[in-house]
Amino acid sequence: MIGISGIILLVLLGALCALDTVSVLQGMVSRPIVSATLAGAALGRAEDAIVVGAVLELFAIETMPFGASRYPEWGSAGVVAGTTYLVGGAGTAGSLAIATLAGLATALLGSLSMVRHRQLVARVAMILRDSIAAGSGSAVTRLHLYGIVSDFWRGAVVTAIGLALALVFAPRILGSWYLAYGPSAAWPVALAVATAAASIVRSAQGVPRASLFLAGGSAIGLGLVFAR
Amino acid sequence: MAIERFRIDDRLVHGQVVVGWGQPLSLGFIVLVDDVVADNDWERELYRMGTPPEMELFVETVESAAARMAEFELRPDAGMLLTGDIATMDRLTAAVPAIRTITIGGIHHRQGRSACLSYVFLSESEIAELTVIAARGVSIVAQDLPVSNEVPLDDLLRGRTG
Amino acid sequence: MITPWLPFRTRVAMLARLMTLQGSYNYETMIGNGVAFAMEPALRLLPGGRGGDAYREAMARQSRYFNAHPYFAAVAVGALARAELSLEAPERIERFRTASCGPLGSVGDRLVWAAWLPLCSLFALSAYGFGAPALAVVSLFLVSYNAGHFALRIWALNVGWRDGLGVASALAAPIFRTGPATLTRVAAFAAGVALPMVIANAVGVRFTGVAVIALVGGLGATVLLLLNGRLAGWRSAIWLLAASTVAAMVIR
């Protein structure tokens, strides 16, 4: 059970990670392998939370933040997924599938909220248009700060919604989960591997000899697993 | 293979083109059609630097692109043709009737334009130009990346605000 | 034409502001307002100082639509700041602004989003697969990625300022031309190593289990590839996981 102070901490963490996605730094603190693990660390269980962080990271390899295109927001998503995985009893049947689903759904919600946020900033820019067109430095700064502060709150709201839904529904769903552990954990990982592999093969196709590097790496990876 | 896409994009050669479309379509060449760029050494150089070395870049005027179209269509690899505005694509489709579909990949905000999609802003005169192109039997859709939905011209104009 | 001087403190202020370049990102001016915000400390050096006619004209120009890769946009910020302080003709500045959007986006997207980021991500996933502690995995990822990230932003601002509107030649450096392909090869190798190890670690299975999951994943990847990028794997996974969740709750 996570107390109110824990939830506040997680919402703040989600907001900061979401802010890193576009508005401030883009130092990739928003990547799910980081944000999910940080959520786990906040709850004292980083080693468990990184499992779902790694699975979501495989999905994230596919997505690139191109210009005005729509892309998932992994910062808040990782925090929600990491928390869901721990609340669902990390390593139990269904926990990885539910945490991955919670993470992907939050990433989608984050993506939609980013579109709204950009429209909102455009509206404020419209209000300040005459001042900005007249070369006012303070109007430029005001718009910029407004964008950053509102993006922080956007991330906080997305994280809060994701956490609320996950904390309410994940235990109930897992309470009536009948599928065995093996397939329950294998399915989200297989989907993540499919997504990452397609993305890697696609980028390797355009580069001479990259497919050979991929094949060589795969042989070594499988060999290492076999030798374990 | 042939020119897979005829795209209007005011940024011309950029990430969505060389990575977003370049990877799934395995693009081998880009035809950039712009009279100003074709006539300007440093701009040609800038766009060449933005093009991956494994892709060939041809910078053409409307007239030279139209004259070389058959040559581009006979190439063994896939290509994309880019214009930076609707007026240039209008002239090109008039000169090359074989162009049957064009894609609006990005026309961004400027005074006098209003929003149709997050990446398409059009003025009244640009809508008129698109209508002229469509009247030639050319299908017009908006799509920034392969993963995005294709938006037909009618839907695009219905979504226009302001 | 005058040769401008950029004090170290101003350069640091511009660099700090560049870290928030996309703070006011919107669908109309994109990062245009962020470009003006990042360049503002330099524009205070124009004749008349902050609020003077030259300052206001330059701020108005620089806050218009602009879009490029957020790290490589620093090249434009440096180059445009130099052009403004050299009192270049406004038409020439406008033309450079328009023409640099695409190439600075293309070079950055290829090098950073399509090559450097996946490579660092796959290194981190390999470390996770090898059983490294969670915080070591995260540190490896953040330190390796940001070493490149910060170096790039600093280089970009400096080279933009140094070369001004003639900065195109700097983009001809081998790292930007052939670097993405080299990084893609290394990333492909890292992916090959990482994927089986991540499967083994995340699911807790041995060779046969890994082979089965890799086979299913390979089939899924083939479907995605055949669709030529028209279907996003992460979005499809939401529906597939939701459906399997319902099935897991209903089928005993």
> Would you say residue B118 lies in a domain?
yes
End-to-end Cα spacing for chain C: 80
**Which chain B residue lies closest to A67 (C-alpha atoms)?**
B16
Q: Are A10 and A139 in contact (CB under 8 A)?
A: no
- Residues C31, C111: one domain? no
Q: For C215-249, give one letter per residue: b (16+ CB within 10 A) or e.
A: ebbbebbeebbebebeebbbbbbbebbeebbeebb
- Residues C76, C194: one domain? no
| CB nearest C33 (choices: A38, A125, A206) | A125
**E strand intervals along chain C:** none
- ipTM of model: 0.97
Task: Spell out the per-residue pLDDT of chain B, length 162, in tens.
Answer: 699 999 999 999 999 999 999 999 999 999 999 999 999 999 999 999 999 999 999 999 999 999 999 999 999 999 999 999 999 999 999 999 999 999 999 999 998 999 999 999 999 999 999 999 999 999 999 999 999 999 999 999 998 775
Looking at the structure of chain C, the number of domains it has is 2
> Would you say residue B162 lies in a domain?
no
**Domain closes at, from C48, C73, C102:** C102
Query: Which contacts of A169-177 are long-range, i.e. CB under 8 A and separated by 24 or more positions?
Result: A170/A84, A170/A87, A170/A88, A170/A98, A170/A99, A170/A102, A171/A87, A171/A88, A173/A94, A173/A98, A173/C245, A173/C249, A174/A88, A174/A89, A174/A92, A174/A93, A174/A94, A174/A95, A174/A98, A176/C249, A177/A93, A177/A94, A177/C248, A177/C249
The residue segments making up the domain with residue C81 are 8-102
- Residues C162, C223: one domain? yes
The CA distance from A103 to the nearest CA of chain B, in Å, is 20
The residue segments making up the domain with residue B8 are 2-154
- Residues C108, C212: one domain? yes
The number of beta carbons lying within 10 Å of the beta carbon of residue A134 is 12
- Residues C31, C64: one domain? yes
Nearest to C58 by CA among C37, C74, C75, C72: C37
Whether C160 contacts chain B with CB within 8 A: no
Residues 184-223 of A with CB under 8 A from B: 202-203, 205-208
pLDDT score at B98? 96
CA B118 to chain centre: 17
> Would you say residue B161 lies in a domain?
no
Query: Read out DSSP for C75-138?
Result: HHHHHHHHHHHTT--HHHHHHHHHHHHHHHHHHHIIIIIIIIHHHHHHHHHHHHHTT--HHHHH
> Is residue C179 predicted with pLDDT exceeding 80?
yes
Which pLDDT tens digit goes with each residue over C23-69? 999 999 999 999 999 999 999 999 999 999 999 999 999 999 999 99
Token digits for A35? Answer: 């944000």
Which one-letter DSSP state was computed for residue C170? G
Nearest to C104 by CA among C154, C68, C80: C68
| CB nearest A213 (choices: C27, C189, C247) | C189
The sign of the CA dihedral C205, C208, C214, C216 is negative
The helix (run of H) or strand (run of E) holding residue A95 is helix A95-127
SS3 assignment, position B113: coil
- Residue C247 — pLDDT band, cuts 50, 70, 90? very high
For residue C67, which residues of chain B lie inside 8 Å, CB to CB? 11, 108
End-to-end Cα spacing for chain A: 36
pLDDT score at B159? 81
Token digits for A120? Answer: 């909102």
> Would you say residue B105 lies in a domain?
yes
Cα separation of A36 and A80, whole Å?
7
